[in-house]
Structure 1
Amino acid sequence: MFLVYAISSLTRNYIYVGLSSDIERRISDHNNGYNKTTKPYKPFKTILLEEYPTRTEARHREKYLKSGVGKAYLKKLLSNDNVF
């Protein structure tokens, strides 16, 4: 099983979208600064978690969420405080 996730920086205006089969480790890596891309934006809160049975399906959703329409959807979730 694969999870698509979106996290939002608590200190800056930044949303990161990714996928993982080990979500606890992955989000911990982001919050501990182990990811070069997200290190300057830590700490994070989770704003979206979705499960998919295959990596292909998860990758398709991840690509959508990284698009302009997908980012707008995530910003709407964030503004409504629908966080996990």
Structure 2
Amino acid sequence: MDEFVVYILYSKSFGKTYTGMTSALITRFHFHNFKSTKGFTLKYRPWIVIHVEFFNSKTEALIREKELKSGKGRDWLRLNVLPNYS
């Protein structure tokens, strides 16, 4: 059975966050930091992983990713996770 991960990356240099979902976190993290040649994450390297949540289904993970990308989710991140990294 596959396991899905919702992750949040943080670029301390730029004060930016990125939220995503994958079934291969290490590979995806490496892509964001080294292999990507276009897209949002390219401009704000280097990234660190600051939060992960694991799910048994892709549907659950996608729902949580969407929640974290909402205004309420960004507020939660700002209050509960980011203070540990600023």
Question: Structure 1, unaligned stretches of length 5 or more?
Answer: none
Deviation at 1:44, TM superposition (A): 0.9
Q: Deviations over 1:9-68 (max 9, x none)?
A: 121021100000000000111111515221000101111100000000000000000001
RMSD: 1.3
Which residue does the alignment assign to 1:75?
78
| TM-score (norm: length of structure 2) | 0.87
- Relative to the length of structure 1, the TM-score reads 0.89
Displaced runs of 4+ in structure 1, greater than 4 A? none
Out of 49, 52, 57, the residue aligned to residue 54 of structure 1 is 57
> How many pairs align?
81
Cα distance between partner residues in 2 of 1:45 and 1:75 = 16
Q: Paired residue for 1:22?
A: 24
**Which whole-Å CA distance do the structure 2 matches of 1:75 and 1:28 have between them?**
24
Separation (CA, whole Å) in 1 of partners of 2:40 and 2:25: 17
Q: Percent identity between the aligned chains?
A: 35
Structure showing greater Rg? 2
